[in-house]
Amino acid sequence: METGKQLRVRETPIPGFLVIDLPVHGDNRGWFKENWQREKALALGLPDFGPVQNNISFNAQPGVTRGIHAEPWDKYISVASGRVFGAWVDLREGDSFGATFTIEIDPSVAVFVPRGVGNAFQALEPNTAYSYLVNAHWSHDAQGEYTFLNLADETAGIDWPIPLEQAELSEKDKAHPRLADVTPMPPRKTLVLGANGQLGRALQQQWAGRADVEFVGRDRVDLADPAALEQIRWSSYDTIVNAAGYTAVDAAETDQGRRDAWAVNAMGPARLASIAAEHALTLVHVSSDYVYADQEDERDEQDPLGPLGVYAQTKAAGDLAVTAAPKHYIVRTSWVVGDGKNFVATMASLARRGATPQVVDDQIGRLTFAPELARAIDHLLATGAPHGTYNVSSGGHAASWAQIAKRVFSLMGADAEGVKPVTTDDYDASRSGVAPRPRHSAMRLAKLEATGFAPRDQFELLEEFVAMLPAA
């Protein structure tokens, strides 16, 4: 064993598989090492994989050989005593499938093994203790997610120091398939909740053809039902996109609506945040401009919260809960327009019928077209943007609801003067049970733009959206 090494990390031909040189300090009494030190490991570029279980394999005689097992979790492997010859084969879907790496490990060397990379070792000395940290609790059911490769696979071509015919192998390991017959381990998936809403449908278009994305509607996963979340095997996922929500702003002011809004918009995200923290998942949570305190200029992500009504309060509570997930994106958006019931479709329908609607002219904001919102979420995830809160809407000049309605009327070939501007107070005076609305919903987009995302102009998108609406 080499002592006096500097702590360092070495890359290998297997993507994500890392070799770590460990400083070992010895004298006449023996030796000491820091086997795993999170702060130093992260500084060197190791992932913050969050180990939850420590396993040790004791091997009494040289020649004991185990593997090749690809498991559905990450591992940090080291030797406490003795020496092993370690062999790893990438059994994940992708271009690196079949890539092989071998190295001899003593107490001065550790390796980080990503999920899906097949792991094997051969003891080279008596009384060898092989230790590994894993970031998921072992369970009997999880064995169904393993992938295996035969130790003698000719394609991998592992040059075992002790020939396999002289080694000690289990009957199970002898029976594992050759590489040509291995089913590669698929990547973890993205789970989209609220698949049937305007954003959910836009995400289905954005991620069409991706086998690693799963869409579920309220019929399968209701955020108000804790049992529905408990039935999901979260080890199969690495990302949750919460596109679900209680959005009936006025109905939320009723007794039943208040209960439903708190259950879906606050308690649901709190449960998701707890799940994301426990399983090291990325949580994308879609929020609303309603959470901000009402003000006369554009909102910034750092502006204080000041929700006005029940809906807004439940959304703000959900935002605060989501911050408990270390890897989270809170996406605050406004005035969403997509495939379904929305303001633009309603105005287009009124224009077709020659109606003369009263439309509020003192609430200012920007439309967020659902495909643009889906594109922004995809961008944040694909680029690995810093976690945190992002305002997301279409770009361009802010406008009032009445100004947007007039533009829709014009695009439909109707007289824009048919839209009658009205103040919020006058509009609300003729209705009962109306929840308070923000007067200024436009949000600054500089933080989003700094990640490389360029929001499209809301009026360009509006023209494209209206052009796709039925003519009659």
Residue 283: burial class (beta carbons within 10 Å; 0-12, 13-18, 19+): buried
Going by C-alpha positions, the residue among 374, 370, 379, 372 that lies closest to residue 395 is 372
Going by C-alpha positions, the residue among 149, 111, 148, 118 that lies closest to residue 133 is 111
Question: What is the identity of the amino acid at 22?
Answer: L
Task: Give the contacts of 434 (CB within 8 A, at least 6 positions apart).
Answer: 250, 428
| Residue 266 and residue 253 in contact, taking contact as beta carbons nearer than 8 Å | no
| Residue 188 and residue 163 in contact, taking contact as beta carbons nearer than 8 Å | no
- Retrieve residue 444's tokens: 């600054």
SS (H, E, C) the chain: CCCCCCCEEEECCCCCCEEEECCEEEECCEEEECCCCHHHHHHCCCCCCCCCEEEEEEECCCCEEEEEEECCCCEEEEEEECCEEEEEEECECCCCCCCEEEEEECCCEEEEECCCEEEEEEECCCCEEEEEEECCCCCCHHHHHCEECCCCCCCCCCCCCCCHHHCECCHHHHCCCCHHHCCCECCCEEEEECCCCHHHHHHHHHCCCCCCEEEECCCCCCCCCHHHHHCCCHHHEEEEEECCCCCCCCHHHCHHHHHHHHHHHHHHHHHHHHHHHHHCCEEEEEEEHHHECCCCCCECCCCCECCCCHHHHHHHHHHHHHCCCCCEEEEEECCEECCCCCHHHHHHHHHHCCCCCEEECCCEECCEEHHHHHHHHHHHHHHCCCCEEEECCCECCCEEHHHHHHHHHHHCCCCHHHCEEECHHHHHHCCCCCCCCCCECCECCHHHHCCCCCCCEHHHHHHHHHHCCCCC
* Active-site residue list: 69, 132
- Retrieve residue 114's tokens: 């990503």
Distance separating alpha carbons of residues 224 and 228, to the nearest angstrom:
9
